Structure 1
């Protein structure tokens, strides 16, 4: 038997059965008849969050059913649809999502369930766009919940613990253009002294660093052409100079598979992600972790990371710093306040990475760091629960919707239910 692997190749799914239902009715029957069941999205999680001892269902054969409601400015789509496909169709019809993650290859339901995000001071994570969701619960019943209804805020970032999300309705807006510029070798002292000015300089800002030395490797600025703050072609940015050709975040990798740079305006659907849908994203042979830090601790947390360079730099390919707006979704790492994301793209040496995570988490603990649910981290439920004011409400909600634990797995037992 060939083991099915995740995207990075570091995790082999142990589920004895993987199925691809072709209709909602087939999905309902599968869930109702399963002893244990989970949904598997684009396999871009780096841990065991999606696995199960029973049946894995993949929604890639369900009709995407992309349906735009122009009056309410929403789009409804199958949970297994990838953001790249959804973005292209929205752009074709003249609409946009508020943001995209760095990869357009990820599934809508999977990204929402783990609070995956893009960047921008005013931009909430991808889950904040959810206006309604449809999920298949443990007995095969289809339940729809809408924004403003009881428990909605607890069900959106659901970690797969509440049911299989079959369809989602997302907020949209009129299409807009983005001009993306890259600056290289920014001065760290200037960046930290003017951090708010750095992150507010564009609609979306990402800083790439290996955490060593006095310079930030790259700053990616995605400017909406209707909201431009930093003029295209600016001679410098916090002592950083404009890149003369397309850049990739990883050193020594061609920028050809990245979205259009050099300040050339184009549709949001081709600029808000870092990578192009038609290319294999990033390198694949890597691991990832990320910690979300309350905005008020941003500069101190970054300084702490720089002090850990001797431990971190030898293990990483690149780090990324992004900003995310606050939300009220119970298990979102940005529940209750705006924050920054400290992202680590590690070399694929899992024993070494796992060995350094406890140190990293201990050093970031004073800042209330919350890990990204879909990436590698060390913390378990006892440490995570105090970080989320509605944590107990979520576990109670899961108990009501899934009393027999059909959707529970080792990941949830370890990180949420504490067993």
Structure 2
């Protein structure tokens, strides 16, 4: 499929990629699935070049192929009818400069953390799990939480991309400005991101604690105030019961830490470590109960050494302007009977506005409503249109890497820089490789 039509069809999210097989690789592999196991990729051709030069050769020899990251997407954004290309064999060469770190696009955040920790520097935020690749997370605007924190892509200061001609193109915020703003959340459509430069800051500590049994009425009344309470805040709920509703607080120790209150909005301070899904073991979760540790140990919800999944699952997430979040929460409470047969847990987080063209937080401070579903795709296909229609008045933007059913015309209308993005795609891949 021509990538120019990727927002004009409901069947495929993203069009053909800008790379082709590298003949020196052995491409055919058994049928493969994504991380959650809900998607079997459409091709058994997987190419794994070992150098950037080999990636460039791949591109020059054209047929269609999609870049493949850490396989944490729940939809077909990284799928291909032809072939996929993984950068997992590229050397993990990291370069550090004052205020920035440059890494291979395929590197996972959890693999980068030890390098940063040794140099006593940090990133501004992390996602709920550190197992995802840097390039893939940035390409889909993946995020953590915090009203002063942009998504992970906002840390990008530069990129190296192999375009459709096999040329290695370098972009930087200083030199390329708006072109970089268009390329960072690139959805895999500009080429293969071989290297990413991220902004760093001095290392800091986080203190984490959790409140349980928080009444939903209280959460609704003070919704945005709760999200603004600390550096990073998450609300977990099933939209139906007080017993399921938790507030996870992550404070920065270098910005002052008040005594931990025993009660918040009627919820009680947890005296044990918990999982977002209370029935599940908390062994894989990061430390709680007032634990203080380096940024990388507590900003995620899950530890790098554990598989964070609760089992087979599906995920949906949509973003709204922060001022609309309390009203959206009330809509979700009103339809909790429809959600609960499929819903494992829902999480609410906040994201600062940014200038990245295809970012879900472009131009507006946002709140993200995330849903972890039991893996029943037929039932979710029936539910998604109902859910999306219920929150349609609030101009939702779906997460690019998760399950959604929004009509293409509606999706296009949510991105005012879409035409500029298309022009940038044409610049990197004029023939629609």
Q: Structure 2 length as normaliser, TM-score?
A: 0.91
Cα distance between partner residues in 2 of 1:140 and 1:231: 56
> Residues 332 and 374 (structure 1 numbering): CA distance in 2 closer, same or farther, change over 3 Å?
same
Paired residues for 1:361-380 under 5 Å: 361-380=388-407
Matches within 5 A, 1:19-418: 19-70=47-98, 73-148=99-174, 149=176, 150-214=178-242, 217-228=245-256, 230-232=258-260, 234-406=261-433
Aligned length: 403
Q: CA separation in 2, counterparts of 1:163 and 1:176?
A: 35
> What is the rounded CA distance, in whole Å, between the counterparts of 1:127 and 1:23 in structure 2?
24
- Kindly state the Cα deviation for residue 264 of structure 1 after the two structures are TM-superposed: 1.1
3-state DSSP class of the match of 1:165?
strand
Hey, what's the Cα distance between the residues in 2 that align with 1:13 and 1:216?
35
Structure 1 stretches lacking a partner, 5+ long:
407-419
The answer to whether the Cα contact below 8 Å between 1:326 and 1:338 also exists between their aligned partners in 2 is: yes
Query: Superposition pairs for residues 4-23 of structure 1, below 5 Å?
Result: 4-23=32-51
The CA deviation string for residues 134-168 of structure 1, in whole angstroms up to 9 with x for no partner, is: 10001110001111524211111000001110000
CA shift for structure 1 position 230? 4.8
Q: For the Cα contact (< 8 Å) 1:133–1:165, is it kept in 2?
A: yes
Q: Contact 1:34–1:54 at 8 Å: present in 2 too? A: no
Report if aligned partners of 2:316, 2:370 keep a CA contact under 8 Å in 1. Answer: yes
SS of the aligned residue for 1:265 comes to strand
Task: Check whether the contact 2:224–2:326 (CA below 8 A) recurs between aligned residues.
Answer: no
| Misfit runs of 4+, over 4 Å | none
Q: Which runs of 5 or more structure 2 residues have no equivalent in the other structure?
A: 1-28
- Identify the range of structure 1 (302-311 vs 183-192) with the bigger mean alpha-carbon deviation: 183-192
What RMSD over aligned residues (CA atoms) do the two structures have, in Å?
1.3
The separation in 1 between residues aligned to 2:385 and 2:365, in whole angstroms, is 25
Secondary structure at the residue paired with 1:49?
A: helix
SS of residue matched to 1:109: helix
What secondary structure, in the 3-state scheme, does the structure 2 residue paired with 1:256 have?
Answer: coil
> How much does 1:2 deviate?
3.0
| C-alpha displacement of 1:265 | 0.5
